[in-house]
Amino acid sequence: MQGTLRIAVVGYGVAGQASCLLLSAAGHSLTVFEQAAAPGPVGAGFLLQPTGLSVLARLGLHDQALASGQRIEQLYGCNLAGRMVMDMRYRDHAPDCFGLGMTRGALFSLLHRAYADHDAIRTGTRIERRSQDGKYLLDATGQQHGPFDLVIAADGAHSLLRRDADVHHRDQLYPWGAMWCLLPAADWPHADVLQQRYAGTREMVGLLPVGRRDDSDQRWLTFYYSLPGAQVDAFDDAALERLRQRVTTLWPEASYLLDNLRSATQLHRARYRDVVLRSTVSDNAVFIGDAAHAMSPQLGQGVNMALLDALALADALAAHDELAPALNAYRKARRRHVGIYQRLSRWMTPLFQSDRQALAALRDRMFGPLGRMPVARGQMLRILTGTKQTWW
């Protein structure tokens, strides 16, 4: 890209943070807007795949991430009867391949500290729309900001800029969600395994080791429990007690981990959207992360996709002399990969979170045997690791 671009980054989540690091290093002039009064992480933890880790390596943050996170070697899930539903080991995909469990706070702090201009972020600024010529941004108070050559919309699954641009092809709220929290790992014996328990399609409990938080050297687990969306929205102390009782039934070996949960306020509510855009580019605006392709977390790719988006955008800008061809190159570079995971997420989510109990019997009978067949196992591992780039 010839010359310095004036770039607005709207949203300071993972996609926005990675964009700041990559584009400031390329010499562009950034103005970053965040609607929260103080920037910070949202949620408990996640699983970084080899794809996301490769972006952190480009940023020079790979070793620091490993020091904060927990190396994950295996994903294991079984049903209430103890029947294995899935058992995938990263080493079967490639030697020394692994995932990395991290707390959201650890990744946020890692990216935040690396961004030299983080003190200049315009916090408490809710950007709602662009001006008609696309050069200016207007916030909730009506104040105008700009002009900008490029607007990066990284404002999440409920993006206001996405609505303003009217680029939706699909934007639906999933009928299911989950309750999440961090729990002390204590003496949990499965330090390198993401474990899940399934009771039909209506209940799923998971435990993901996620390493350390910034404020202590203690090791942590992300706990999550799926619920219909209405129950997520109405979750209270009585619901917490019911959850505790269900975990005792579904996974008695893990029930002691919940002993310190005293209030529903200790858990995060998570609702998910299924977002497909006609185009991730609208004039001089580009959509990245959940603003571009929010999906169910069933495949665990959200943070990884956000990091890949930021890298693809930075590479496209570096490879072209003009903005329009660069944005078109970004759109093409991410279209196929994102499209595959959007469809897979939409197809697979009902197998784990829905009222279609008949699907559970199909899932429980088929997934285990399929995972032992070489061709099917290879495809399942590509999906897990985020490396599936084509259908066949």
Position 347 in a domain: yes
Looking at every residue in the chain, the average pLDDT score rounds to 94
CA dihedral for 248, 250, 255, 261, sign (positive or negative): negative
Structural contact between residues 213 and 109, judged by C-beta atoms closer than 8 angstroms: no
Query: What is the identity of the amino acid at 148?
Result: F
Tens digits of residue pLDDT in 97-114: 999 999 999 999 999 999
Tens digits of residue pLDDT in 155-178: 999 999 998 888 988 899 999 999
Position 216 in a domain: no
Tens digits of residue pLDDT in 241-256: 999 999 999 999 999 9
Position 317 in a domain: yes
> Average pLDDT in the 184-192 region?
93
Give the model's confidence band at 2: pLDDT under 50 very low, under 70 low, under 90 confident, else very high.
low
Task: Show the tokens assigned to 268.
Answer: 């995060």
- Does residue 48 register a pLDDT over 80? yes
Position 90 in a domain: yes
Position 237 in a domain: no
- Does residue 216 register a pLDDT over 80? no
Give the model's confidence band at 200: pLDDT under 50 very low, under 70 low, under 90 confident, else very high.
very high
- Does residue 129 register a pLDDT over 90? yes
Position 275 in a domain: yes
Task: Show the tokens assigned to 107.
Answer: 């990744």
Q: How far is CA 266 from CA 14, 186, 197, 252, 261, in A?
A: 23, 18, 22, 21, 7
Position 183 in a domain: no
Q: What domain count does the chain have?
A: 1
The DSSP secondary structure of 227-245, one letter per residue, reads: EEHHHHHT--HHHHHHHHH
Which of 71, 75, 132 lies closest to 102, judged by CA?
Answer: 71
Angle between helices 50-58 and 302-319 (to 10 degrees): 40
Tens digits of residue pLDDT in 310-320: 999 999 999 99
Give the CA dihedral 241, 243, 244, 247, nearest 10 degrees. 160
- What's the alpha-carbon Rg for the chain, to the nearest Å? 21
Structural contact between residues 171 and 275, judged by C-beta atoms closer than 8 angstroms: yes
Which of 317, 341, 330 lies closest to 282, judged by CA?
Answer: 330
- Phi, psi at residue 384, to the nearest 5°? -60, -45
Which of 175, 173, 275 lies closest to 229, judged by CA?
Answer: 175
pLDDT of residue 67: 95
Which of 74, 265, 259 lies closest to 183, judged by CA?
Answer: 259
Token pair 């996974």 in the structure block, residue = 251
Position 281 in a domain: yes
The CATH number of the domain holding residue 30 is: 3.50.50.60
Domain with 55, as residue range(s), is 6-173+271-385
